Amino acid sequence: MLRNPTAIQKYSVAAILVAVAFGLRYGLYDTLDHRLPFAFFIPATIIAAWYGGLGPGMLTALAGLLLGDYFFLPRGQIGEAERTVIGLYALNVALVVVLFWHLHTRLRDREDELKELKSGGRTGSGE
């Protein structure tokens, strides 16, 4: 893994994770039918948010929601069970993405502080 991946690398990983999650879930459609429509998209979102941060995590979460809804939920009238599944998926992935975004922000702040300490303290503060 790269220490500081570029935006293209982060979003490429997110797209690949969505494609892999979709492929695995689609491959098991005969076995799972309409059950667990978002199960494979949750780990994909976790990995994308860990690796890429807020944007790639949200992209993966949203793509998983749209693909899971379109391909793996029953057509026609959406009942209470389907609304619950969608809500739980959205809540879980939003929480994961926000927590990893917060972690990335804190790590970036600590790295900036460490660079400042290594460069000999604050410059231009006039103290």
**Distance between CA atoms of 22 and 2, rounded to whole angstroms?**
25
The first and second tokens of residue 29, run together, are: 């459609």
Instruction: Give the pTM.
Output: 0.84
Residue 126 clears pLDDT 90, i.e. is over it: no
Sign of torsion, CA 86 40 98 13?
negative
Interval 45-104: pLDDT, tens = 999 999 999 999 999 999 999 999 999 998 877 889 899 999 999 999 999 999 999 999
Write the Ramachandran bin of 110: left for phi over 0, alpha for psi from -120 to 50, otherwise beta: alpha
